[in-house]
Chains A and B, each alone.
Chain A
Amino acid sequence: MDWETLLIVTHIIGTTLGVGGATFAEVFYLKAIRDGVVSPVEGDFLKTTYAIMRTGLVLLVLSGFGFLLLYRLNGAEALLLNGALWAKLTIVLVLVANAVMIQIRKMPMWLATSLSLTSWYAALVLGAWRGIPYSFLEILIGYVVAVFAVAYILETIKKAYVKK
Chain B
Amino acid sequence: MTNRRNRLLAAPLLALLALLAFAGPAAASGESVGSCIAEKLEELIEESGDLDEVLHELHVDTSIGDHFEKKCIEAPSPILPETNEIIWGGAAFLILFVLMVKKGFPAVKGAMDARAEKIRSDLDAAEQARVDAQSVQSDYEARLADAKTEASRLIDEGRADADQVRTGLITQAEADAAGIRERAASESAAAKAQAIADLRSEVAGIALGAAERVVQASLDAEVQGRLIDAYIDEVAGTDG
Q: Say whether A and B bind each other.
A: no
Residues of A participating in the B interface, judged by any CB pair closer than 8 Å: none
